[in-house]
Amino acid sequence: MSSNIIKHQLTLDPANSLAPTRSDTGVAHDAEPKEAQPVANSKDDSTGTLRFIGTATTILQWAGINIMTDPNFLHAGDHVHLGPGVTGTRLTNPAVELEELPAIHAILLTHYHADHFDQKVEEQLRRDLPIVTTPHAREHLADKKTGAEKFEQVYGLDRFENAVLNVKSSGANSAADAKQAAIKVTAMPGKHVPPGPLGVANDILGAVPPVNGWMLELGQKTTDSEEPMGGFNCGYRIYISGDTLMIDDLHEIPKLYGEHKIDLMLIHLGGTTIPGPNLPLLMVTMDAKQGVQLMQLINADLTIPIHFDDYDVFQSPRKDFEDLVRSSGLEEKVKYLDRGEQFEFELRK
């Protein structure tokens, strides 16, 4: 089960205004990073926003920092490789271009799949940008790359392992009020392939990559404590499902968090089928039915569906989920965002 041991600690500086890309073209690898597009992101840690970009890409803005999930910036008509003999075609455009992003201080990557970390992103991102992800993705982004292609700050987490993203303080706090904003990131279970013989075969062949979900706990900790999370007070908790199916392991999440409130769930839907829309043999992400089952299991205060219509391999559109949510009497627990829209939230004190 979950460990209180912090595997990784990172410090993110709100004053860092560099763009997430390493050059305008992604070709001149030694080019100086440019300044990012300006963005309204208050350093006040009592409120935050979550902006939906498309697919599973979102930008979480809180305490002066921007955290991006699963960056995918391909356009309609572009293709991605999703496994041996499996490709997907994008049907939509992202709400913002990769080159137009604000400063990004860290990336949370659920898994190393091209509809979550596409070829354009892999080519153009700065190599010093912190990425928290699976050990499998770390192997591909850091261990197997060399020279200028190697990502320098990739942190792998197995399920229920923890990392802490500390927000660098402006230094204005007195010693008597030595608090620091921080996000505790815990890897949650997930399975991209159904358990059983297919899952065993995939574990051997590695055709579909392993996936994490994330639990993000936004809050304040005491800076003068000897413990990495000394005096931590969580003010807002976000669960990101990742590209999982409804599996037994997910029942460990409500057991782990017990009475702790889960404020928001970002659920990856789509009913993704492989090898493709013309031969839908195997579903590898939740459809509407499984999505509602996960809502009932996690019991978050609010759910935002993402990852539902951006590729032709997504066979369960958001409307299916909307209809089932309505018939299940759960309308008040769902917020629908179109690409480019954002959700604002307040932290508990």
* Coil/strand/helix, residue 243: coil
- Give yes or no for residue 41 having a pLDDT over 80: no
Amino acid at 251: H
In the chain the domains, ranked by start, together with CATH numbers, are: 8-24+32-169+177-344 (3.60.15.10)
Give the CA distances from residue 80 to residues 21, 168, 276, 282, 331, in Å, rounded to whole numbers and listed in that order. Answer: 20, 37, 12, 18, 34
Give the CA distances from residue 303 to residues 238, 239, 295, in Å, rounded to whole numbers and listed in that order. Answer: 10, 9, 7
* Nearest by Cα to 114 from 82, 136, 90: 82
Burial class (CB in 10 A: 0-12, 13-18, 19+), 125: buried
What local confidence, expressed as pLDDT, does residue 326 receive?
98
What local confidence, expressed as pLDDT, does residue 118 receive?
97
214-218 mean pLDDT: 98
Question: Residue 206 — pLDDT band, cuts 50, 70, 90?
Answer: low
Arithmetic mean of pLDDT over the chain: 90
Asked whether the whole model's pTM tops 0.75, one would answer: yes
Question: Residue 238 — pLDDT band, cuts 50, 70, 90?
Answer: very high
Question: Residue 213 — pLDDT band, cuts 50, 70, 90?
Answer: very high
- Give yes or no for residue 237 having a pLDDT over 80: yes
**Which of 111-120, 125-134, 273-282, 312-321 is least confident?**
273-282
Could you tell me the two tokens for 314?
């997504």
Percent of the chain past pLDDT 70, that is, above it, reads 88
Higher pLDDT, 203 or 140: 140
Question: Residue 25 — pLDDT band, cuts 50, 70, 90?
Answer: very low
Distance (Å, whole) CA 314 – CA 317: 7
Higher pLDDT, 158 or 35: 158
Higher pLDDT, 343 or 169: 343
What local confidence, expressed as pLDDT, does residue 86 receive?
83
300-326 mean pLDDT: 97
8 A C-beta contact, residue 36 and residue 20: yes
The dihedral of CA 346, 217, 99, 119: what is its sign? negative
What local confidence, expressed as pLDDT, does residue 169 receive?
86
What local confidence, expressed as pLDDT, does residue 277 receive?
73
pLDDT of 45-69, one tens digit each? Answer: 999 999 999 999 999 999 999 999 9
Higher pLDDT, 43 or 309: 309
Question: Residue 202 — pLDDT band, cuts 50, 70, 90?
Answer: low
The residues, any chain, with a CB within 8 Å of residue 258's CB and separated by 6 or more, are none
- Give yes or no for residue 29 having a pLDDT over 60: no
